[in-house]
Amino acid sequence: MNFRSPKLSLADMLGESFLQQVVQANVALGRLNAKEADALAHEKVDFFPENLQKQDEALLKQVGTQIVTPFNNTVDGAPTDAFRKATHKSSAPITGAGCFRIGEDGRLYLIGKSEHYHASLGHKFNGYRLVDNARALGLLNATHNNTRGYVTRLLETRLIQSANGIDWEDEASTAAVVASKEPHVLNRVISLETGSLAVEAGVKMMLARFYRLDNTFSEPKYSGRIPVFFVMADNDGGKAGNYHGTTVLTQTFRGLWPELCEEADTGNLYKVVPVAINDISDFESKMEKYNIGKYKTAGFIHEIVMMNYGGIRLTEEFLQSAYACCRRYDTPTMVDEIQSCMWYKGMFLYRLYGLKPDFAIIGKGFPGGEYSASKILTTAEMDTLNQFGALVTNGQEELASLSYLITMTFMQANGDFVEKYGNLLMQELCAVQQRHPEALNKVEGRGHLIGLQFADVTKAAEFSEKLNARYIDSSAQLYKANCPPAVLIKPPVISSEATVRYIAAVIDELL
């Protein structure tokens, strides 16, 4: 087999005592008899059995073929004009399996972008049958912030353990980290629905060092200074290189709402400063400049692989030096891993870089497309805002938390394979670029997160059309000014050696 397949029950995942309580409660309500409930609690589910792994590879031969009759229909919905223009009904999902989707046209597609980065484990991953069992057993999904359920609380513990490199069975080290008041130790979790809200929560905590949330708060540490946010620049030194969600505040960070951003700047509310990609000299000079007089750096916010800017990868050397500089100037760091989380061994790419951020943003890949569920991990030092007025409305869903735990369990067992096949994909594509330097300028990214960079916008757009015509999902990133024209792919982490070689071979052929 290409991957190890954990075989676990709900009782294995969540603990026997909790499941016995669930069984008793649902028997008492008359939903199930004791035998039925006990069977659901203890059914061993094979996460990714050998027959499904073989099926995934066998389907490679049918990519692009029409394997069922088309579903012709006139239901177009009621989208906005922008959504209507972008919609492709023919490739909309009827069903899927593993790395593949069957579209309304009846054809088989290889999900080369993991359904916009959500389906980390592909479609209909067998391990998520535990979610079905949990629902049948009576586990609730909806909860309130004041009644965070057992599964969500267990997930919070597992996230902090994984974020700090602690074994899940090491209770002593876990307790020490959770109780720590030291800076740069991630030991707080806030659950939200989307990555945009998770980033915004972190930005609010950065702003809380300059402004009071309300009149009950004491004077902030840097009251009277102008907060300055560092973000990644585009290739012309502008703000278009970064992307941290769709809230108004973070949209101003990337140059949207220009009049609003200008008013905030001239009115001394806050300032956004783009820093050059992988240029530590530029970073350090700007850090010095904006920590004098009325200015104070409020935070450094970044991705590691800039999948919204040509797939450019920030280097370990740059980020390690930038983090050291931030510490010297008491500037919080936020790593936005919405794109990269769960696509690398250890689940968090920042750990492979040796970074210790003050905020880590995760989502998408963790729940595997089963639920919308993002998180922000932070430290005791940054834990300064109240619950309802500032940070959350909801996001504590129990079944969403279970989907996180299932994905994490699979990655724990298979991180070495994910790393192996991700590295292979990068190696194969770099070899393709060496064979076609006149057609393909550069291969950017890391592992499964790939940006194929072309000489101009036309070539990138044409190649994306060719790849999509071979029924491998891709997108051409052409909408940002000064962005390297790039075609983006990001296959699921269950992509086997055969799958990554197939993708590379098709790209080689099309060039």
CATH number of domain containing 308: 3.40.640.10
Amino acid at 147: T
Which residues form the domain of 342?
A: 186-396
* pLDDT tens digits along 158-210: 999 999 999 999 999 999 999 999 999 999 999 988 999 999 999 999 999 99
Q: What single DSSP character describes residue 460? A: H
* pLDDT tens digits along 77-87: 999 999 999 99
Give the other-Cβ count within 10 Å of 236's Cβ. 11
* pLDDT tens digits along 277-316: 999 999 999 999 999 999 999 999 999 999 999 999 999 9
**Position 317 pLDDT exceeds 90:** yes
Please report whether residue 245 resides in a domain.
yes
- List C-alpha distances in Å: 267 to 167, 230, 262, 303, 418: 49, 18, 8, 28, 49
pTM: 0.97
Please report whether residue 197 resides in a domain.
yes
**Position 393 pLDDT exceeds 70:** no
**Position 396 pLDDT exceeds 90:** no
As a whole number of Å, the CA-based R_g of the chain is 24
Please report whether residue 16 resides in a domain.
no
Please report whether residue 283 resides in a domain.
yes
Please report whether residue 99 resides in a domain.
no
Residue 437 near residue 443 (C-beta atoms within 8 A): no
**Position 460 pLDDT exceeds 70:** yes
Dump strand ranges (E) for 250-396. 271-275, 295-302, 305-306, 312-313, 333-336, 359-362, 374-378
When pLDDT is cut at 50, 70 and 90, the band that residue 389 belongs to is low
Please report whether residue 135 resides in a domain.
no
Please report whether residue 342 resides in a domain.
yes
Please report whether residue 20 resides in a domain.
no
| β-pairing verdict for 295-302 and 333-336 | parallel
Counting the structural domains of the chain, the total is 1
CA 449 to chain CA centroid, Å, is 11
pLDDT higher for 376 or 393?
376
